[in-house]
Amino acid sequence: MSLAPAHIAIVGPGAIGQLIYHQLNQYQLNRHQLNLHQHKCLLLWPKAQSAIPTQLTFIDRQGVSHHSHHQGLSLANATKAELATIQLVIVTVKAHQVLSAIVPLLPKLAPNCQILLLHNGLGPHLALKAHLSAQPQPLGLLLGTTSQGAMRINDYTIAHTGTGVTQWGQASAPAINAGLPISASLQQGFSSAIPECQWQTDIINALWQKLAVNAAINPLTALHNCRNGELSDARFTGMITAVVTELVQVAAADGVALNYAELLARVYSVIALTANNYSSMQQDMALGRQTEIAAINGYIVARAQAHQLEAPQNQQLLAAILQRQAH
């Protein structure tokens, strides 16, 4: 298969993966019209090459459909030659799918390539770091999170359902560049293409803040099968404050300083702003899919145990979700 050289690859062509692909492509199109440098993009699919479509559909916030030609490769069959020009791999699969999706790809990537994990929660980055360290020339690792909303209409059509902030930053630099972070060109290109995108010099702190929001909202909405806004009811106050209190203590033990009052206010702000939304964990539970609980409340519990701390509210929510998943 003949492909135009691409600099960015996306692993995980679900709703968020395709949304980012469309946003990058639109930005590249605009820059091409202005005769500026482009960072071309391709999608890596978990299916045979013959089943990958040549066209994708994007429904914007105004309900207008946009059809675009797309470059796609089979994740399992992509060759080292086809991936030789890739500088950034964006991983948008669920947290529990990260290692199985990306580890087989590592030997095929160029030494100057960087990997961006863009999923809910924390934890997979620690396991992936071990795999990266085992490479002859460890690749760079970036971490990020997005609050953009997207819904998959079918395998090849997605709708942009909500705006939101995207944050990303360097976790570890590739060995090939002697510790240098991601190139300024690629950083600027991605940050300009994605609306409300922010580069974070301390991405771990930012991810702990997002973790607090997910840890408070996701399991409660999943267990009570409710929209986010219902969590503003007083019956949830004690559980939400306990989740945030425990998280702040665990983060401090991990060397991450968080402000409890500001964090709690942020949780309730998200509850209000997304009142009519269903959380991703509620949707996963409703559809019988595996949730990301291990990377959310499970991560808080694991880090608490590593520091001989207790996190009973997070432990209770973790156990309740795991029990519900098992039936």
Q: Which amino acid is at 306?
A: A
- Which tokens go with 25? 């492509």
Quick check: is 40 catalytic? no
Whether the CA torsion 286, 246, 305, 211 is positive or negative: it is positive
Contact between residue 66 and residue 263 where contact means Cβ atoms under 8 Å apart: no
Question: Which one from 40, 47, 80, 210 is the annotated catalytic residue?
Answer: 210
DSSP state of 138: P
- Whole-number Å distance between alpha carbons of 66 and 258: 42
Q: 22's torsion region: left (phi>0), alpha (psi -120 to 50) or beta?
A: alpha
- Which tokens go with 34? 């202005």
- Whole-number Å distance between alpha carbons of 177 and 25: 27
List alpha helices for 165-279, DSSP H: 184-193, 203-224, 237-253, 260-273
Helix (H) or strand (E) holding 159, with range, is strand 157-162
- Whole-number Å distance between alpha carbons of 314 and 277: 23
Q: Which residues are catalytic?
A: 210
